[in-house]
Structure 1
Amino acid sequence: MTRDPTAEFSRIEITWERGVTRLHLIRPERRNAIDLRLAQELLRAALLERTASSGCVLLTGAGDHFCVGGDLKAFEAADDLPSHLMEITSYLHAALSRLAAMAAPLVVAAQGHVAGAGLGLACLADVLLTDESATFRSAYGALGLTPDASTSHLLPRLVGLRRAQHMTLLGHVMNAEESEKWGLSTETVPAGQLQKRALEVAVELAAGPTTAYGQTKRLLRSSFARSLADHLEDESVTLSAAAGTADAMEGISAFSGRRSAQFGVRT
């Protein structure tokens, strides 16, 4: 009998559909707050072979809120909070690094309150879809804490340094309209349509050229850390390698033949 790799998960529901790995946070009673178990499960989910080989990863949250960050009740109960946070972030950050490094695009669907590490998860998205009621806040300063989950790295790159300072130091709460205008979110979705729209986008991406998408993700993220000359060289090498793939041959043939490309089929 084949062992179900998701059987021991209690904080995340994992499903596969049409090439999409869906990671659904299922702690709605705690507004999907991140405790040690959830951080561990997120890493385990990211390490699953089927997740790594999918065409797209879709991250969603159950209930009215996507994720409000760390579980403050667990923080209060910890005997040694500094050690507790070090342990949680070791798993959480490893999961985020894994998701960022995957060839598969990451789609995040965010509704309701998005705060702390939940904001970091939103920042990590390649495509961020938000419900029109969504709000985004840093929340760390009010707790006397500092950012984690990539927020201090990605937020200023997405919205600009001044706006990131506005959120992290002055506590500004960004609404859905601002999140799209400032460059955090990709699209604002009408109420009640977020999950449907997110799956549509994820399925569309899953049907695309995953290897090319992965290299495009890498090129975009690395562009902030090196010179134009170095980046141009990388673009040339990467483009040349991509041109030799079956996906490129299919894409060029489909364009010339005025038909839709049929890239690798995933289930």
Structure 2
Amino acid sequence: MTDNPQSHVRVEDGVLRIAVATAEHGTSLSPAGMEQGIAALREAGPEIGAVLLVGEGANFCAGGNVHGFASADDRGAHLLDIANLFHDFIREIAAVDVPVVAAVHGWAAGAGMSIVLHADIALGGPATKLRAAYPSIGFTPDGGMSWTLPRVVGIARAREIILTDAVIGADEAVRTGLLSRLVADGEIQSEALRLARTLAHGPTQAYAGIRRLVSDSMHRSLSEQLDVEAAAISASATSPTGVEGVDAFVEKRRPDWSLGRN
């Protein structure tokens, strides 16, 4: 991966930064960002400890390129291609073993809101707004919104948010769990990068296990989850990360999490 003006991805201090939208086409979802993001996520090795999702422009991501939809010769085929590309990106985000942080400034609408819902930690600011946006152009959701949103806010609230195309302000987004917390509008990306860097140099093996446990919990009973947790914490105890964490605690020193990477 090279850091050049045409690249939507770059690696900085263990953080894989992916621009999901740019100022082009009104900060709509970037196909190039999706393609490059997919490739970067698939190629990511142990040098990558966190993923940072950003928008480059006035917004995080204002949705799909509606003008592009309108000008397509075959709108159905065009939307299917876009959705499949977008969903390949979402699948890679869901499958990655490291924490995913989103820096959500301005609008996160349509596809942008869908992306936010897949982040482990999403930071916004007082001016951040989220909106399903699909009904406004007569569309149904993509990007997994119909799957993630009910799991965050409940089925009834998810139906209301999508059907009424509600604009969700920053404070409400935090209250409902769509955003993790707010920082000053001008500090969203810098704080998200600081957080991603911190996570990138943390116990990455433990983070991978945590992500799997949480994401898979929806498909298990409590008893099944307890069995999986017992097996996971037992495996953690003999992993390089777990050994180093316990030894560092007993020896009253800061752990060297690099020992848990391969």
Query: CA 1:56–1:119 in structure 2 vs 1: closer, same or farther (change >3 Å)?
Result: same
2:12 aligns with one of 12, 17, 30: 17
Are the counterparts in 2 of residues 36 and 87 from structure 1 also a CA contact under 8 Å? no
- TM superposition shift of 1:139: 0.6
Q: Which moved more, 1:160-169 or 1:116-125?
A: 160-169
Matches within 5 A, 1:160-175: 160-175=154-169
1:43 aligns with one of 15, 21, 38: 38
Matched residues in 2 for 1:164 and 1:29: separation? 30
- TM superposition shift of 1:6: 4.1
Matched residues in 2 for 1:56 and 1:142: separation? 34
Matched residues in 2 for 1:176 and 1:260: separation? 36
In the superposition, the TM-score normalised over structure 1's length comes to 0.91
| 2:219 aligned partner | 225
| 2:97 aligned partner | 103
Are the counterparts in 2 of residues 250 and 261 from structure 1 also a CA contact under 8 Å? yes
In the superposition, the TM-score normalised over structure 2's length comes to 0.92
- Partner SS for 2:114: helix
Are the counterparts in 2 of residues 131 and 191 from structure 1 also a CA contact under 8 Å? yes
| 1:141 aligned partner | 135
Query: CA 1:158–1:53 in structure 2 vs 1: closer, same or farther (change >3 Å)?
Result: farther
| 2:120 aligned partner | 126
| 2:248 aligned partner | 254
Structure 1: tracts of 5 or more residues without a match: none
1:75 aligns with one of 64, 69, 90: 69
Give the aligned length. Answer: 260
| 2:22 aligned partner | 27
1:193 aligns with 2:224: no
Percent identical pairs in the alignment equals 34
- TM superposition shift of 1:26: 5.2
Are the counterparts in 2 of residues 35 and 88 from structure 1 also a CA contact under 8 Å? no
1:62 aligns with 2:56: yes
Counterpart residue identity of residue 157, structure 1: R
- TM superposition shift of 1:155: 1.1
Q: What is the Cα-based RMSD across aligned positions, in Å?
A: 2.0
Give CA deviations for 1:149-179 in whole Å, capped at 9, x if unaligned. Answer: 1111111111222321221001111011011
